[in-house]
Structure 1
Amino acid sequence: MKADKIFINGEVITVDQHNSIAEGVAVQGNRILAVGSTEEVLSYRTADTEIINVNGKSLLPGFNDAHLHLTIYGTNLLGVSCIAPHIKSLDDIFIDLRKKCQETPKGKWVRAWGFKESSLKENRFPSKDELDAISTDHPIVIIRTCNHTSIANSKALEIAGITEQSSNPDGGIIERDSNGQLTGKLIENAHMQLFEYAAYAEDEIRKGMKLASDEFIQAGITSVHDAGAYGDGADSLRIMQQAINAGEVKVRVYALIGSLTNSHEFVEKMVSAGPITGLGDDRFRIGPAKLFTDGSSVGPTIATRQPYSHNQDDYGIIYYSQDELNRILGTAHKKGFQITAHAQGDRAIEMILDCIEAALSEHPREDHRHRIEHAGIASPDLQDRMKKLGVVPIPNPAFMYVNGERYLEYYGDRVQYMYPARDYIDKGIVAAFASDAPVIFLDPMLGIHAAVNRKSTDGQGVGENQCISVLEAIRAYTWNGAYASFEENIKGSIEVGKLADFTILSESILHVDQEKLKDVKIELTMVNGEVLYDRNDLCGKKNPKKGARSLVF
């Protein structure tokens, strides 16, 4: 048993059952051959073994982001970025949109992404008329960072068949001014349905997937749970499999069966087709059936049991009735699927828990690992039900850093149990961390920073009772993600026999000032025993990614 690569003199955070810290790792092919002291792992070397001196830096399992949108992240990179460093105002966005229109054939879509009104000088949305002033020959749409709201120009609305006479779709709003005129703003399901017309071409989607995969690798992410895209989910799955088979997408993918557009249609199609959760291999695997139940935490459009703190008349939006949830996801459970739903508000979480409880009562199943995506306002009574039912929540710790000020405004004291990592750990609930990129920043180090510190961008504490340790945060971003996809026996920790997926950081994560965790960089990323990213040529070879642009987010 001889090693192809041996990493020595490191701080190897194994994330095993005992949270052991080792010094070295030996790799043979795509598997971990040995873990232990530098002396122990060097016993597996030969004249051909590559020896990499980690010099005291942290080596840990590759990050497993349990909820992001691979396709949307990738295709966003083909559009106009509203979070580029030079964007300070609406005028800056308009300038970039005009440039994009000039290089885009008339009639073709021009899209901007990452829009966040509070980050701009004007602190408002643009109007339809302002977008029309840029072009009426191109359909233009600006997508808010939450991916639940957009602004469209007249051409885009015309293509989508949206007029003053159009009715609001179920779970959505077509905004009008006081005179009943369209403003161009589309909220929730109205926004989702626009993308039946604004979809990217297949070659663009595939190009975007490769770009996204490259950036995930640079962020130390080796596995992702893809939470779906706009349009026909079956097409996205097919293109993703083709990109993985062609080696264009290097990260491992656990694909949720869900779409941002009419999610029930895709779920029902897949449930009828026959394949169930778990079909696939260690590169691509079918995940849970997923529905949307409510909206965005910063819209704000999430469904709450009590009104929003800043608006006593607002309780958010619900996509499906309880009977519809029970029927659609209950059938998926009966057929053998893991089931899940996007549920941010406590009312939406309660509904999906009621659905899971009903499904298990009618068709009991051990170790189902049914999930709740985000599970934003998870009050203690809902946590207790998660524990009792064996539910795996998928919280987004970096939301507290990016959106903390808004959460305090919208939800008040409820921030004390938003994305409650401390409570989950203390109650023995396995919660897998996720970014929800491109909704917010991709970087797992920011997620760890947010989970450990629970402060917003301005340094304000936001539910600091939910702070956890660095080691606990690492586990939530690695082993817990593998558990959420039934793959903890092959990845998620650095143990003999598991897949050789790991990342090396720029320093010791256990000794860095915890207020500076977000500044720790990714030094190296390995997937399947292959070094795919080596920022400073740690392996002493020319790095094919050297000089690649930095992460977009």
Structure 2
Amino acid sequence: MTRKLDLVVDNADILTMDPAHPRASRVGIRNGRIAGLDDDLDGWDTAERIDAGGACLLPGLIDAHTHLELRGQAMSALDIGACTTPSGALELIAKAAAGRPRDAWIEVGGYDQAAIGRHLTAAELDVAAGGRRVWVRHISCHASVVSTAVLAAEPDRELVGRPRLAAGLLEELEQNVVRRQRLPYAGGELGEVIAAAAQEARRQGVTFCVDAGNGGEVGSLSPVDGAAYLDLHASGRLPVRMGLMPSMDVLRELPVHRDDRYRRGIDLGLRSGFGSDSLFLAGQKVVLDGGMSVGTARMTEPFAGLDGLGTWRDDPEAMAEAIVDGHLAGWQMAVHAIGDAAMDLAVEAFTKAQRTLPRLDARHRIEHGGAIRPDHVARVAELGVSVVTQPSFLYDFGDRYTELLGPSRAGWLYRGRSLLDAGVRLVGSTDRPLPGTPLRAVQALAERASSSGRVSSPEERVTVREALEAFTVHGAWITRKERVLGRIAPDFCVLGRNPLDIDVSEIAAIPVLGTAVDGEFSWY
């Protein structure tokens, strides 16, 4: 009987990410699994053969913290990301609004107040858009600027009567002013934006995404967004594997038995791990604070040049209780903590959770870890908690973040080397819709240079191989997919150059030539 493979890739420069067999030139796939490398494939026939032409083959990149819905929304919105002045941004908004119906929404993406010098105002949006409803969403999604027409439709007059909000600037949950009016998206509309963002990710070498904040106030465009992912998957239009991360506010009180020890969950008690290798429930997300770009990350001392300590997303005691409750229920907890005070709360909650019910393989995760003090490093390692980082922020915002933290705290910024040396798993992600690709993030993690060339904490640099592991091996581990993904796998990307064989400064520019998901290959 003839032995037959589904796919063989020949003439490739293969980085397996497996220390036992680090390099290869030929790989075979059968029934969605790796059948072998190099000489292992002798004597096998194959249904399909691909000549890689000497290109580099790498396990599919894993983007462990994304917002595909928000990225898809931004892709369909007016993009003002190239603007450098308020007048330039307002001119583009005026052109987009011209001729639109009076009740139309003018949705704007790519907005960064630092890039244009200051925040836009509601009064300026009123003039530019002729009184129409305008929603200018900050690239961090932690703030928005809206026109007076949006504020006027808000029933909570006490909320919009605050001076800052009267100028149209909404921060954190104040953005529910927009949410109540514009959202939710219909299922078909939502499916289209998800598919567009997922296809963009795949063209960047990504074969697996985790969407952070499904169904909740942060990160979703509908409380039933999971249905859109299911519909895409069922129809074969979901181009990447997906892990869905329900937001804390999706959970509700459940009449569980007292012996179960927890109170909150989603219906049927479903939790992390439910689903398949293609679409499943990942961690439960708890957002503790805001973002660094808009000064709402919660700090123990104010950012340089700013008043206040940032923002708690909710009552700290209630959020800590939610983390412990989710741990008791068996969830993997994914805790958004950017400021050092938020890191304190996360560490305290994880410590209490493990003392209450030890779970040796909980694989809990801290999302971002923007400002990690030296004393946090050992505590995070001791707890076995991973840090899901966004190294591209160092390139796009490193100069600004360094100035916000000031000289005494600059070394806390998106750590790398110190976490790895302490035994903390460092997991890579982009946090799309923010700018940056996985290869840009790999370069930034190894180089720690901003777009201006300024290097942030060079002692925190990691090797290129370690940076690649953050987007492959550790991404698979944090999602419990290490048996099928992360090392050489049926998901792979084909790169124009080998990241290990070129100067670090050239990694972000490597072209992605193709990707395979579950052995299904596409050239670009």
Structure-2-length-normalised TM-score: 0.91
Contact 2:390 2:441 in 1 (8 A): yes
Contact 2:190 2:221 in 1 (8 A): no
Q: Could you tell which deviates more after superposition, 3-12 or 466-475?
A: 3-12
Letter in 2 for 1:77: M
- Residue 43 (1) aligns with residue 33 (2): no
CA deviation string 1:348-397 (max 9, x = no partner)? 01101111111121122220011111011112211111111111110111
Question: Given the alignment, which residue of 427, 436, 439 partners 1:432?
Answer: 427
Contact 2:63 2:428 in 1 (8 A): yes
Letter in 1 for 2:286: L
Question: Given the alignment, which residue of 293, 296, 315 partners 1:298?
Answer: 293
Question: Given the alignment, which residue of 226, 230, 242 partners 1:253?
Answer: 242
| Structure 1 segment 99-498 matched on structure 2, within 5 A | 99-102=95-98, 104-120=100-116, 123-136=117-130, 138-161=132-155, 163=157, 165-166=158-159, 175-176=163-164, 182-199=166-183, 200-228=185-213, 229-230=218-219, 234-258=223-247, 263-266=248-251, 271-273=265-267, 274-311=269-306, 313-413=307-407, 414-441=409-436, 443-494=437-488, 498=489
Q: Could you tell which deviates more after superposition, 448-457 or 55-64?
A: 55-64
Change (3 A) 1:74 1:305: same
CA deviation string 1:130-186 (max 9, x = no partner)? 1111335531110111111111001111223354x4279xxxxx553xxxx810111
Partner of 2:505: 515
Output the CA distance in 1 between the equivalents of 2:18 and 2:390: 23
Q: Could you tell which deviates more after superposition, 457-466 or 111-120?
A: 111-120
Contact 2:188 2:228 in 1 (8 A): no
Contact 1:30 1:528 in 2 (8 A): yes
Change (3 A) 1:66 1:193: farther
CA deviation string 1:218-242 (max 9, x = no partner)? 0110001101255676411222222
Contact 1:175 1:185 in 2 (8 A): no
Change (3 A) 1:461 1:231: closer
SS in 1 for 2:429: coil
- Residue 81 (1) aligns with residue 79 (2): yes
The size of the alignment, in residue pairs, is: 506
Q: 4+ residue stretches of structure 1 with deviation over 6 A?
A: none
- Report deviation, 1:426: 1.1
Output the CA distance in 2 between the equivalents of 1:289 and 1:438: 20
Partner of 1:540: none
Change (3 A) 1:256 1:267: farther
Contact 2:198 2:238 in 1 (8 A): yes
Partner of 2:260: none
- Report deviation, 1:11: 1.9
Contact 1:56 1:507 in 2 (8 A): no
Change (3 A) 1:518 1:189: same
Letter in 2 for 1:243: L
Partner of 1:544: none
Contact 1:11 1:22 in 2 (8 A): yes
Change (3 A) 1:380 1:232: same
Output the CA distance in 1 between the equivalents of 2:447 and 2:328: 41
Output the CA distance in 2 between the equivalents of 1:134 and 1:331: 48
Partner of 1:550: none
- Report deviation, 1:49: 4.0
Output the CA distance in 1 between the equivalents of 2:265 and 2:141: 26
Contact 1:136 1:154 in 2 (8 A): no
SS in 1 for 2:118: coil
Percent sequence identity over matched residues?
A: 25
Gaps of 5+ in 1: 169-173, 536-553
- Residue 64 (1) aligns with residue 49 (2): no
- Report deviation, 1:272: 4.3
CA deviation string 1:373-431 (max 9, x = no partner)? 10111122111111111111101111111111101210023232322111121111112
Structure-1-length-normalised TM-score: 0.87
- Report deviation, 1:511: 1.3
CA deviation string 1:327-353 (max 9, x = no partner)? 222222111111122100111011011
SS in 2 for 1:195: helix
Letter in 1 for 2:173: N
Change (3 A) 1:333 1:271: same
- Report deviation, 1:436: 0.4
Partner of 1:529: 519
Letter in 1 for 2:305: H
Letter in 2 for 1:33: A
Partner of 1:506: 496
Q: Could you tell which deviates more after superposition, 74-83 or 317-326?
A: 317-326
CA deviation string 1:274-295 (max 9, x = no partner)? 1011000011111111121111
Letter in 2 for 1:202: G
Change (3 A) 1:360 1:467: same
CA deviation string 1:167-224 (max 9, x = no partner)? 79xxxxx553xxxx81011112212453232223332211101111110110110001
Contact 1:4 1:49 in 2 (8 A): yes
Contact 1:73 1:437 in 2 (8 A): yes
Contact 2:126 2:132 in 1 (8 A): no
Letter in 1 for 2:265: V
- Report deviation, 1:509: 1.5
- Report deviation, 1:102: 4.1
Output the CA distance in 1 between the equivalents of 2:347 and 2:127: 47
CA RMSD of aligned residues (A): 2.1
Letter in 2 for 1:531: F
Output the CA distance in 2 between the equivalents of 1:513 and 1:268: 53
SS in 2 for 1:503: strand
- Report deviation, 1:320: 2.8
SS in 2 for 1:207: helix
